[in-house]
Structure 1
């Protein structure tokens, strides 16, 4: 009765394959999008208790697919949310790459930065001439405009470089701000507004903040942390690590709080290319992973250059020209750890519906 199904399946799969080769992409179909502030506090004007200021909250922008997966990807910037939105050349960034995969995507601005810049304390801004420093810090080459030969940046495009360095926020990288941002993020994680399966995707100093968030959150909603070139780590108070005094750590927390990281389903510390093993933050990531695993966790270090063969990856590899390949590594991480299920648990039907739609378009 159903002898025609295999033949139809082959035709459908061939059609979808041709559509992809011809540049047709799975459409992004959203159920809803929006944003909200969360966390923070209300302070009173010392000269008049009738005057208040709502401040030190975070801001979350969200995009929910029409048929979402269970896992929410919270993209936590160090430089700005822009790095999640586009590739260096303006092409498709992680936000859209994973919306096409039907993951709910959240873009997070922590307290005092970006769209959450109402501070409860006075802030002083002094121009810091750091374009040249950005180039080296973001691992585009050993010195300004001296690109790595295999760099995954559009090195001939001066406008692309200008966009990249102009997109950066003022981060306020202080120990106080790490605590403040992770406090607000923990409120967001526990609120249920991000769902109960949260994976943080972080970059640079965002990794430290996400780790601190996991030690503070009271619910069991945080299922994963993927840090891209995290600068700063969290250690337990029995690890013989001296806490740093600045915003890049290391941070030392009570052992029982650190053990919350071991309850996260999976943690991955990802590094770009052209980083020597002696690089202090790489050594810290390996030690942090070792300690998480010691207490029953699941933490690993991934070197994109040597482990994944992705040469020329920068400090922000998810914006590099081969970001689709970097996204493939994240796909495998999510699949391997059971974080890729759909809300309705009907994956196959969803895939076939996409094939049918591609046929109708053809």
Structure 2
């Protein structure tokens, strides 16, 4: 064989090999794959406590089960932990997800029954996502103030508060998996406070996050709902709020705070702010969601009855913000034909339907560019 013929044959074989590799590569790419351009984590906000004196690395350098001598030492605490992912071709406004009481960023991750949570569902819709563990919770557990963590059996209590049912029975129409493993996972995602529950500490840290990342949409759940109003009043980088079942701490202008609304075992109360601060809430679109199995009349079951009172307060708050020129939409899911949602619509069996509804609202408000 001549040298020219050998080179030609080798070239043809090489081209065929490249084409085969290219075809194999195309076959191996999952069209449903999430393509993440950047991801990472960081801490934001917080403070530093310094003890007087001078640190002695010899005298104080040995590990002591009783705890170190603090003289001359520092403690960094009260920060938030943030995990973020930015997809390819991300939209201009990220979503910042903030969990509720007794929870962490896990709220937005894989659902208790193993499906995709809002983290992935909105990455697929091309939003960058930032997931928070608020100060003194989860991966932000370093507190500057002491607390005692009680080991008290309480899971049937949370089963009722989160409106899965009336222990031990699920509600007949509930959008929560009946697989025992799902309930096992759900109970294990509950996490304690590692320091006192101090709202100003949480608001400062989340506001610092918006200072760092710039304009974004805040998505809150339950107890972070009231905290979210405070963040928006102090930080113009909050361009919209979506709040899933906010409870207490609705903010009204001074002189317009309604009377507390009683419920079985307690009362729903509101807070006040100067009118100038309150009006910041009228400058952004706000969406509230409430799920199913919330009674309209008083109930003897506190787990349900507290949400009757919170929803009643939310209606008053919507009216107050809109009366001052705001744009608050309150969605009661059963009233629009979406039934069975618990206190966790973002991880219920129909969470894709909830995500679709939310996405359409974001589109309507011009927040998806």
TM-score under structure 2 length normalisation: 0.79
Of 310, 320, 326 in structure 1, the residue corresponding to residue 354 of structure 2 is 326
CA offsets per residue over residues 278-316 of structure 1, 9 Å max, x none? Answer: 511001111111111122210011011112x11110100
SS in 1 for 2:170: coil
Gaps of 5+ in 1: 1-23, 342-362
Please say if 1:257 is aligned against 2:273.
no
Match of 1:270 in 2: 289
Aligned counterparts, 1:304-343, within 5 A? 304-307=333-336, 309-341=337-369
Q: How many aligned positions are there?
A: 307
Task: Tell me what 1:358 maps to.
Answer: none
2:26 paired residue number? none
Tell me how far apart the structure 2 counterparts of residues 319 and 312 of structure 1 sit (CA, whole Å): 12
Structure 2 CA distance, aligned partners of 1:247 and 1:123?
26
RMSD: 2.2
CA–CA separation in structure 2 for the residues paired with 1:276 and 1:25: 44
1:67: how far off? 0.8
Counterpart position of 2:61? none
Task: For residue 243 of structure 1, report the CA deviation from its aligned partner.
Answer: 8.4
Q: In 1, Cα distance between the equivalents of 2:243 and 2:332?
A: 12
Q: Give SS of 1:338's match.
A: coil
Please tell me whether residue 283 in structure 1 is matched to residue 300 in structure 2: no
- Partners in 2 of 1:160 and 1:56 — Cα distance? 32
Q: Which of structure 1's runs of 4+ aligned residues deviate more than 6 A? A: none
State the distance in 1 between where 2:273 and 2:231 align.
12
Tell me whether 1:27 sits opposite 2:50 in the alignment.
no
Partner of residue 181, structure 1? 202
1:1-362 matches, within 5 Å, as 26-48=32-54, 50-78=72-100, 79-141=103-165, 143-155=166-178, 157-171=179-193, 177-191=198-212, 193=213, 195-196=214-215, 198-217=216-235, 220-232=236-248, 233-241=250-258, 250-264=270-284, 266-277=285-296, 279-307=308-336, 309-341=337-369
Give SS of 1:251's match. strand
Unaligned segments of structure 2, at least 5 residues: 1-29, 55-70, 298-307
Are 1:56 and 1:111, in contact at CA under 8 Å, matched by a contact in 2? yes
**Counterpart contact for 1:207–1:231, Cα < 8 Å:** yes
Distance, in Å, in 1 between the alignment partners of 2:53 and 2:156 is 45
- Output the CA distance in 1 between the equivalents of 2:195 and 2:147: 13
Residues 220-256 of structure 1 deviation map (CA, whole Å, 9 limit, x = unaligned): 2111111111112222212134689x99853322221
Q: For the structure 1 residues 247 and 283, does the alpha-carbon distance in structure 2 shift closer, same or farther, using more than 3 Å as the test? A: closer
Q: Distance in 1 between matches of 2:281 and 2:267?
A: 20
CA distance 1:301–1:31, shift in 2 (3 Å): same
**TM-score scaled to structure 1, two decimals?**
0.80
**SS of the residue 2:169 aligns to:** coil
CA deviation string 1:78-134 (max 9, x = no partner): 122112112231111110001011100010111111111111111211123210011
* Bigger relative contact order, structure 1 or 2 (CA pairs below 8 A, ≥6 apart): 1
Partners in 2 of 1:247 and 1:168 — Cα distance?
Answer: 24
